[in-house]
Structure 1
Amino acid sequence: MQFVHPQILWALLALSIPIIIHLFHFRRFKKVYFTNVKFLKEIKEEKSTRRQLRNLLVLLSRLLAFSFLVFAFAQPFLSKNDTAKTGKNFVSIFIDNSNSMMALSEDVPLVDKAKKKAEEIVSAYGVADQFQILSHELKGSQQRWINQENTIQAIDDISLNPEVNLLSNVYNKQKQSKPKEGNHVIYYISDFQKSITNFNLDNDTLSEINLLPLQSIKESNVSIDSAWFESVVPSINQNNKLIVRIKNHSEEPKDDIRLSINHNNQNRPEGTISIPAMGTKIDTINLLISQPGWQNIRIKIDDYPIQFDDTYFISFNIKEKTSVLAINKNGTNKYLSAVFNGLKSFDLKNVQVSSIKYDQLKDNDLIILTELNEITSGLASAIKSYVENGGNVLVFPTANANIASYNNFFTSLNSNTINKWTKTKSNVFRINTSEFVFDNVYS
């Protein structure tokens, strides 16, 4: 049997106190004169025997209760191998320093408790033993074996880090650095989140492995789940609606969560929000983009104590004008020209399919293929390369299109295929103006 906190066993010396009190406690009796003491002696002898037995039982109960309490605080445990080990110990300790260890337990972060427990483990070994302190970073310097004094310093240097490794990776590193001689002892001090606990230690009989779980009190946590623009392409000199989804991970509602946004180093509060228990809240932020170029946005909420998920970053590039190339069957497409007419943020260029310069396709933000009879292999290859480099393509097939050439093109882009054009009569009762294609058309 071993103890996590063997130094607490010194408290067993306090067992001598009740024993001393019991041995040196003399009770004084008062003399009472009586004419016939025969019956009094019998009563006195009987009560004295009972009292002595009762006192011994009380003393024994107190000693056992105090002993069990001391052993409980010392945290005894049985090692995997009960046989006594001799020789030098090589102790490898993994301290979980992921963001989940930011949670509090008795007003103390779990990572601080893990470091404290690691120091206690190191202190329980001898000065001749060697130690290895690992964290999620798995640095090369952490895989060296160091003495007891340097180990305490290595533990102090550990801090929270967003980098996370699976415990199987940690275990593999520990096996790789395992010494050829001596006793190999492994400790894992962690909250053992499901996302990182993926290893099986049942087959390892050459190392003594100890799992020391830490558990936090139930924390209320609110995080920014996601954010996106209502419009596919944010526009310059216009109010763009930025949608923010915020999630409450606790079983209690959260009120007065402050939301703020930083746009190009300009802070702006957005008020407070309330979120039901285990629910989400969607809020809308109006964002005016007045200058072209890269836009840096930081959305932030105020939530304590878990704060690593309180900030959300967005970066995107706004061009002064969006370049659009329309590849037409014959000359200019009047319908597209009418659509883009008056849209100052778009620069539309029309080109005939027979006059395409493939090397200039990359200079456009959007390419529109309008009513082409077929998509040749050369055009398909050029468009595919353009898309793979981040380009955007919009296709309007013609009624008598070569379906095979179109579908070959769509297949190369991992897109849906089309069927033959058919004409059928249908009655239209009304126009569904709520569809997104009619946004701002009838306003």
Structure 2
Amino acid sequence: MQFKHPEILYFLFLLVIPILVHLFQLRRFKKEYFTNVKLLRQLQQQTRKSSTIKKWLLLATRLLLLAFLILAFAQPFFTAKESKSKDNELIILLDNSFSMQAKGSRGELLKRSIQDILEAFPENQTFSILTTNTAFWDVDRKTIQTELQKIDYSALPFELDYLLTQVATKKPNTKKDYLIITDAVGLQSKKMEPVFAENEVYFMHPKAENKNNISIEKVTLSQVLETFYEITIALKSYGKNTEPVSLAVYNQENVIAKSQVTFDTNEKELKINIPKAAFHGKVVLEDNSLTYDNAYYFSISQPKKQNVICIGTPEKNKFLHKILTDKEFVVTNTELAQLNYNAIENQQTIILNEIKEIPQALATTLASFYSKGGSVIVIPSEETNVQNINSFLKNFGSLQLAPINKTEKQITKISFNHPLYKNVFEKKITNFQYPKVNQYFPSSGKGLPILQLEDQANFAFSVTNTLGNLYVFTAPLNKQNSNFQNSPLIVPTIYNMAQAKNNSKTNTFTIGENETLVLEAALSKDEVVSVTNTTYSFIPQQQIISTKVKLSFGDYPEKAGNYSVKQAENDIQEISFNYTRTESDLNNENNTLFDKATSVNDVTTVLNDLESKRTDTSLWKWFILGTLLFLLIELLIQKFVK
């Protein structure tokens, strides 16, 4: 036991006073016996004994009364179990990811958790609170109440390691207590073990009552028809969803199509035709669970004609003109001697069709063209100088062609997963009529296979720098060397090679994936483009590449929706952003991460536990009660003891 005012204990010397008074009252007198009271002697002796006992009882009571009163003023207390931790700072890590939209027994998990914080904390108690996208340091309930109630859901997942790093950076040398409020959906962490070892950690786990959910996973442009686009809508069901779900496709605010989906399996694909025109809309479904994944935004730009230069003889270029029609391409046919180098910069694709030798000036120009986002297609000739073409290919990586092999081979393998064949085949084909080549150049290097021969050698492969593409055939495509021109494979292969990356596709991006977009835009040195819609605008990171601009979106925007890329006041591209679907499965809980934490059901329990462990036990009230008790005992002794 310790005392807040130990100096008051000196007053215990006052206990001498009642002892002196007692001794004075007990001083001895001389006895005289009178004959006329002889019969009362025995009674008188008994009375004196009783009086002595009463005086001793009064002395003990008064001593205890005075001692308890002095001790009460000295304010005794017992030290708290965790007295060294009483100055720890309380850090609240609050999950505001989309899975916290789910409803628990008392409403939305996030909103209910915020209300618990506001109701539990005393008005002036200091704490810090961090969410995925906000941080409030050293605040109290009174100053933070409005901001807490405005906290919205974040497109980014709840990452404990990121938040713990923030805390360590902001408060490196302070002792901390943690309250982590999360539904633990998809949660991962590598930094919790040292936190458990060094800090008091409380885990509050709000739970959803209904864990069934349906999500729109993706919308892709699966087929381009004469007057329609065919889009494929990928849906996913989590839990048991037996009721039909309504689904609608919007262009701007206009409903284009409606349908219903019943889930007999967890994954469903729905194909819908929409008008072949510029499209800036969304797909929306209705379910009774999470709302963030019930809409998927997508944009389809009006197809632009692609500028293509075919370098080769007119006779050999004929088959290319049949594939690259005037409706979708502006094709310039030129022989190498007449090539206008200045025109290359304004093209999307350059085709080198059976050129015997590539001049150094052209090789340098095409390497620059590729680095700025252009596509280069190389079709060798039987008379191609291997040393010359290898010198050219070195500009694009460790790619090499060996001397020509004059063995007839069949083209037997299609790389269905190659981006070139995305949405081309409904299923993998194994029994198609194999084209063949009479001779080819064996290749080596890190090219991505597109088509392969029966001996696994490449017939066509590609490399990319994420901006531009290089496509290389390893054999001449003329009819004397190959019947590939007669194969159905040639149309999607050459057509997609010549198409620009962002032409005739859904211009959709995922928030938080730091994806990039390359656009045709002639910008001045200090000019920038912005991404905007009716409620939000931001300037992405951008890099000017000749007549193009490369945009990197990072973690922006914060809200999913349809946006426009603007140069000054002009719209140059319609694009869409969607949230990542990592929060859709409410059954994907990682509760084992908090096995070493103290599990609680509400914030009040945390505050009471910390207070009980770290508050000294004050005893002065008990000593006051003892003082009053002994005062009462003295009165009773005075009255009833004779």
Alignment partner of 2:178 out of 150, 170, 186: 186
Q: Deviations over 1:272-307 (max 9, x none)?
A: 122334x3222222233246xxx4242222233212
C-alpha deviation, 1:164, in angstroms:
3.5
The residue number in structure 2 matching 1:138 is 134
C-alpha deviation, 1:225, in angstroms:
2.1
Q: Deviations over 1:98-121 (max 9, x none)?
A: 111112222622212322332354
| Structure 1 position 300 matched with structure 2 position 280 | no
Question: Partners in 2 of 1:434 and 1:400 — Cα distance?
Answer: 24
Paired residues in the alignment total: 343
SS in 1 for 2:298: strand
SS in 1 for 2:114: helix
Alignment partner of 2:191 out of 169, 182, 199: 199
SS in 2 for 1:150: helix
Amino acid corresponding to residue 146 of structure 1 in structure 2: V
C-alpha deviation, 1:414, in angstroms:
5.0
The residue number in structure 2 matching 1:379 is 362
The residue number in structure 2 matching 1:312 is 296
Cα gap change, 1:271 to 1:208, in 2 (>3 Å): same
| Structure 1 position 230 matched with structure 2 position 222 | yes
The residue number in structure 2 matching 1:344 is 327
Question: Partners in 1 of 2:85 and 2:305 — Cα distance?
Answer: 77
C-alpha deviation, 1:413, in angstroms:
3.3
Contact in 2 for aligned 1:321/1:345 (Cα 8 Å): yes
Contact in 2 for aligned 1:324/1:348 (Cα 8 Å): yes
Question: Partners in 2 of 1:82 and 1:378 — Cα distance?
Answer: 81
Cα gap change, 1:185 to 1:337, in 2 (>3 Å): closer
| Structure 1 position 270 matched with structure 2 position 258 | yes
Cα gap change, 1:107 to 1:261, in 2 (>3 Å): farther
Contact in 1 for aligned 2:323/2:491 (Cα 8 Å): no
The normalised TM-score by structure 2 is: 0.47
Within 5 A, what are the aligned runs for 1:22-421?
A: 82-85=81-84, 88=87, 90-106=89-105, 108-123=107-122, 128-139=124-135, 142-143=136-137, 145-164=138-157, 166-178=159-171, 184-202=176-194, 207-231=199-223, 238-250=227-239, 252-277=240-265, 279-290=266-277, 295-328=279-312, 330=313, 333-336=316-319, 338-340=321-323, 343-410=326-393, 412-414=395-397, 418-421=401-404
C-alpha deviation, 1:221, in angstroms:
1.8
The normalised TM-score by structure 1 is: 0.66
C-alpha deviation, 1:132, in angstroms:
1.5
Question: Partners in 1 of 2:185 and 2:324 — Cα distance?
Answer: 56
Amino acid corresponding to residue 215 of structure 2 in structure 1: S
Contact in 2 for aligned 1:373/1:400 (Cα 8 Å): yes
Cα gap change, 1:196 to 1:381, in 2 (>3 Å): farther
Amino acid corresponding to residue 274 of structure 2 in structure 1: L
Question: Partners in 2 of 1:347 and 1:359 — Cα distance?
Answer: 17
Question: Partners in 2 of 1:256 and 1:242 — Cα distance?
Answer: 21
Q: Deviations over 1:15-39 (max 9, x none)?
A: xxxxxxxxxxxxxxxxxxxxxxxxx
SS in 2 for 1:318: coil
Question: Partners in 1 of 2:339 and 2:82 — Cα distance?
Answer: 82
C-alpha deviation, 1:218, in angstroms:
5.0
Question: Partners in 1 of 2:81 and 2:395 — Cα distance?
Answer: 64
The residue number in structure 1 matching 2:630 is none
Aligned CA RMSD, in angstroms, stands at 3.5
Amino acid corresponding to residue 289 of structure 2 in structure 1: P
SS in 2 for 1:296: strand
Question: Partners in 1 of 2:242 and 2:359 — Cα distance?
Answer: 59
Cα gap change, 1:309 to 1:416, in 2 (>3 Å): farther
C-alpha deviation, 1:268, in angstroms:
1.3
Contact in 2 for aligned 1:248/1:254 (Cα 8 Å): no
SS in 2 for 1:247: strand
Question: Partners in 2 of 1:221 and 1:435 — Cα distance?
Answer: 42
C-alpha deviation, 1:264, in angstroms:
4.8
SS in 1 for 2:121: helix
Cα gap change, 1:122 to 1:178, in 2 (>3 Å): farther
Contact in 2 for aligned 1:259/1:300 (Cα 8 Å): yes
Contact in 2 for aligned 1:270/1:285 (Cα 8 Å): no
Contact in 1 for aligned 2:95/2:110 (Cα 8 Å): yes
Cα gap change, 1:301 to 1:431, in 2 (>3 Å): same
Cα gap change, 1:438 to 1:177, in 2 (>3 Å): closer
C-alpha deviation, 1:166, in angstroms:
2.0
The structure, 1 or 2, with the larger RCO (C-alpha pairs under 8 Å, 6+ apart) is 2
Question: Partners in 2 of 1:390 and 1:238 — Cα distance?
Answer: 30
Amino acid corresponding to residue 113 of structure 1 in structure 2: R
Question: Partners in 1 of 2:116 and 2:328 — Cα distance?
Answer: 61
The residue number in structure 2 matching 1:53 is none
Contact in 1 for aligned 2:310/2:317 (Cα 8 Å): no
Cα gap change, 1:284 to 1:138, in 2 (>3 Å): same
Amino acid corresponding to residue 200 of structure 1 in structure 2: M
